[in-house]
Chain A
Amino acid sequence: DSGVTQTPKHLITATGQRVTLRCSPRSGDLSVYWYQQSLDQGLQFLIQYYNGEERAKGNILERFSAQQFPDLHSELNLSSLELGDSALYFCASSVDEATDSGNTIYFGEGSWLTVV
């Protein structure tokens, strides 16, 4: 158990719909990362939040957005869903402070999204 909790584990939704994926980081971790894993694109970094603020952006579509709340949990919102958005979405967390060696990045079990 990595200590990173993601819900829901599985989600099936129709094209055009909107879904929200939730992530609770490990206790003490300030940074949350979202990744997408699809068959054609592999594992891609989407976005990072650190202590409530957006820190880095990767290949995240404009239809997607995220936020991190004061209790450090994060949500990834996916809207106007398309068939190609079907993927495994991971959340990861790390301490990400100046004194951290950067060697601990743990992933949740992922949320399987199927768009039909």
Chain B
Amino acid sequence: AQKITQTQPGMFVQEKEAVTLDCTYDTSDQSYGLFWYKQPSSGEMIFLIYQGSYDEQNATEGRYSLNFQKARKSANLVISASQLGDSAMYFCAMREGYSGAGSYQLTFGKGTKLSVIP
């Protein structure tokens, strides 16, 4: 079973509108972290936002917010006021468990390609 599922291979949004990118995850760990990364066509992987499993508040970073619904195991990324520069691939990723100086390897979803229309 996939640990990270992004069901939207591609999405379009009008400039200045808000958009939600879906992400569901599967883990039996109590402690885990969820990440969103942006990958423009140039290839670099840009960290956007992080949500810890014990965080009660939804994470926000500027125009990015993470809609964390723990019971549903979903961690959707909301981008407000879309800009042309937001056109990119977006990846949801999960870090499972935490054991002090343990491994923080990430499991990635397949990504969603967002296109912002002028």
Cβ-based interface call for B104 (8 A): yes
The interface size bin for chain A is: 20 to 34
> Judging by beta carbons under 8 Å apart, are A106 and B105 in contact?
no
- Please measure, in the bound complex, the distance between the C-alpha atom of A90 and the C-alpha atom of B102, giving whole angstroms: 20
Cβ-based interface call for A31 (8 A): yes
How many pairs of residues, A versus B, come closer than 8 Å at their CB atoms?
70
Cross-interface CB contact of B44 among A48, A96, A98, A110, cutoff 8 Å: A110
Also in contact, A55 and B111, with CB within 8 A (given A102-B95, A105-B35, A110-B43): no
Cross-interface CB contact of B33 among A97, A103, A109, cutoff 8 Å: A103
Cβ-based interface call for A84 (8 A): no
Also in contact, A55 and B35, with CB within 8 A (given A105-B95, A107-B44): no
Which residue of chain B has the shortest Cβ distance to A33 in the bound complex? Answer: B105
The interface size bin for chain B is: 20 to 34
> Judging by beta carbons under 8 Å apart, are A45 and B105 in contact?
yes
Min C-beta distance of B66 to chain A, whole Å: 12
- Please measure, in the bound complex, the distance between the C-alpha atom of A23 and the C-alpha atom of B50, giving whole angstroms: 24
- Please measure, in the bound complex, the distance between the C-alpha atom of A20 and the C-alpha atom of B35, giving whole angstroms: 29
Min C-beta distance of A29 to chain B, whole Å: 11
Residues of A within 8 A of B12 (CB): none
Also in contact, A98 and B101, with CB within 8 A (given A42-B111, A90-B45, A110-B45): yes
Within 8 A of B (CB), among A12-48: 31, 33, 35, 42-45, 48
Cβ-based interface call for B103 (8 A): yes
> Judging by beta carbons under 8 Å apart, are B105 and A58 in contact?
yes
| Interchain Cβ contacts under 8 Å between A and B, 16 examples | A33-B105, A35-B106, A42-B108, A45-B107, A48-B103, A56-B105, A88-B43, A94-B104, A102-B98, A102-B104, A103-B33, A104-B50, A105-B95, A108-B44, A109-B44, A110-B45
